[in-house]
Structure 1
Amino acid sequence: MQSKMRLSKFNMIELLKAPQYKGFLSGFQARQFARGNLVSSPDQQSNEVFIVVSGRLRIFLSYEGKEFTLCFLEPGDLFSTHTRVMIEACKEATIMAISVARFREEVVRFPEVSLVMTGILGQVLGGTLDVIEGIMFHDVRYRLVEFLLSLADEQGKQTEAGTEFECDLNMEEISLLIGTTRQTASSLLNTLIKDGHLVRLGRGRYRVPEPDVLRGLLEGDDD
């Protein structure tokens, strides 16, 4: 499972700073969104490709009053408004957008970008399947533990006391990510801390004393 703290391992902003991509961003226009504002929705007519410059955006599906978070977009992530998903600013955000038609023209000039796009789309699909699998086959504690382990695996630092990692998502964002209420997510997290499976080191900083023991909670912990 991907932690979904980043949609892709590719940072398009850094990539496009290379000399061979000079001029690629000339057709993009900057836009700003306040926290809680929608960047895109399924009924929106715009058909654009955009790169996140700052802030954080949430990609989610909405159906009959329920929301299913697929992933978050971080600075450097590239995405499109021409999808069936909702895109919301979790915090004040700035994006650089361009029409799909103009983007296609730029890709013809810089074909290497299309290879990056293929990788990103594959990761989005993988994240979507993770969400579906988690909701259908696993309970909430399983999804929370899996999320914490993915963070530890992706960005954890090994110390004598265990694996330390950071998570700058607030409890509301974590609850949306694992498909439950804020209260339930908070209660489950506190239980993991109380039982010694997780240590809170400070705001957004955690340690997993024994990753294998925490991973063992996934065994037989299905619906």
Structure 2
Amino acid sequence: MIPQLPLLDLIDSEEGAGLRRIFHEKRLESGSLLRAPNGEDQVFIVRSGRIRVYFATPEQELSLGYLTATDMFSTHSRALLQATQATELLVARRDVLERQLGRYPALQATIVRVLAMVLSQAMTLIEDLAFHPVKRRIARYLLRSAARHKIPVAVDSLILVELSMEEIAALLGTTRQTASTELNAMIHAGGIARQGRRHIRICDPERLYLWAGADHPAGI
């Protein structure tokens, strides 16, 4: 019986030696695109770093989500895959990996978790583009970030903002300039404040909820 270890721990363990042999390591510099050779259908696991999953046209880019350590994804999709920082991957052919799914429950659990994350972000993006102005999208993003990191929505709470303004804009389906303008307007209105480079401080929780069009994070 294969133990149900976290995926990377399993791959690095003695019990996961057979699974480890079907992968090869790949390193990407920040900004590099991940491309499978000759259109080969590959599956990869992020060992470290971050991969952006997105669509792009000459005029606009839309992000579906970001993959970090232990996340798994496939090159066989229409989405583009880009390292947003130095990234290490474990890569395998999809058909070879599929034959291992029954033996390793950790593979199945990771696939389900990542697919749920990407689907959730896609649904959020569709809803935002169809129904919400940019200010509301930003407020909803901040409340989701607070909920993800278990930060209470209260006066002086600090929300960790892991993405750059350009990355946030692509995630919310707008331009960097528009996102920056709306965020600054929210700051000047007194609802939030910058706290260093990576945090937003909540000054007025009720106003933040009002901007988001919700009275609770579950509503966003």
Query: In structure 1, how many angstroms separate the alpha carbons of the residues matched to 2:159 and 2:52?
Result: 22
Q: Is the 8 A contact 2:43 2:92 kept in 1?
A: yes
Q: Quote how far apart the aligned CAs of 1:211 are.
A: 2.8
Q: Report the number of matched residues.
A: 209
Q: In the TM superposition, what is the alpha-carbon distance from 1:65 to its structure 2 partner? A: 3.5
Distance 2:170 2:112 in 1: 27
More contact order relative to length (CA 8 Å, sep ≥ 6): 1
- The 1:100/1:135 distance shift into structure 2, 3 A limit, reads same
> Cα offset for 1:96?
0.9
CA positional deviation for 1:112: 4.6
Say if 2:7 and 2:107, in contact at 8 Å, map to a contact too: no
Deviation at residue 88 of structure 1 after TM alignment = 1.0
Contact (CA 8 Å) 1:68, 1:177: kept in 2 or not? yes
Pair 1:192-2:186 in alignment:
yes
Secondary structure of 2:78's aligned partner:
coil
> 87, 100, 105: which is aligned to 2:81?
87
Q: CA deviation at 1:162?
A: 3.1
Q: Deviations over 1:38-66 (max 9, x none)?
A: 1138x961211111122221111124643
Partner of residue 4, structure 1: none
Q: Report the counterpart of residue 149 of structure 1 in structure 2.
A: 143
What is residue 202 of structure 2 aligned with on the other side?
208
| Residue 127, structure 1, aligned to residue 121, structure 2 | yes
- 8 Å Cα contact 1:36-1:88 kept in structure 2: yes
Contact 1:156 1:163 in 2 (8 A): no
Q: Secondary structure at the match of 1:216?
A: helix
Listed as ranges, the matches of 1:1-223 within 5 Å are 12-14=7-9, 16=11, 21=16, 23-40=18-35, 45-63=39-57, 65-158=59-152, 161-219=155-213
Deviations 1:2-43 (A, max 9, x none): xxxxxxxxx7435656776454323211111122221138x9
Stretches of structure 2 that go unaligned for 5 or more consecutive residues are: 1-5, 215-220
Distance in 1, matches of 2:206 and 2:42, equals 44
Structure 1, residues 135-183: CA drift from partner, whole Å, max 9, x if none? 1221111111111111111114449743212112111111111122212
CA offset at residue 109 of structure 1? Answer: 2.2
Q: Is the 8 A contact 2:153 2:205 kept in 1?
A: no
Residue identity in the other structure for 1:174? I
Q: Which amino acid aligns with 1:25?
A: R
What residue in structure 1 maps to residue 217 of structure 2?
none
Segments of 5+ residues of structure 1 without an aligned counterpart are 1-10
1:120 Cα offset (Å): 2.4
**The structure with more strand, counted as a fraction of residues:** 1
Instruction: Sort the Cα spacing of 1:162 and 1:156 in 2 relative to 1 into closer, same or farther, 3 A.
Output: farther
Contact 2:154 2:205 in 1 (8 A): no
Instruction: Provide the C-alpha distance between the structure 2 equivalents of 1:160 and 1:81, rounded to a whole number of angstroms.
Output: 41
Percent identity, please.
29
Q: What is the TM-score of this pair, normalised by structure 2?
A: 0.83
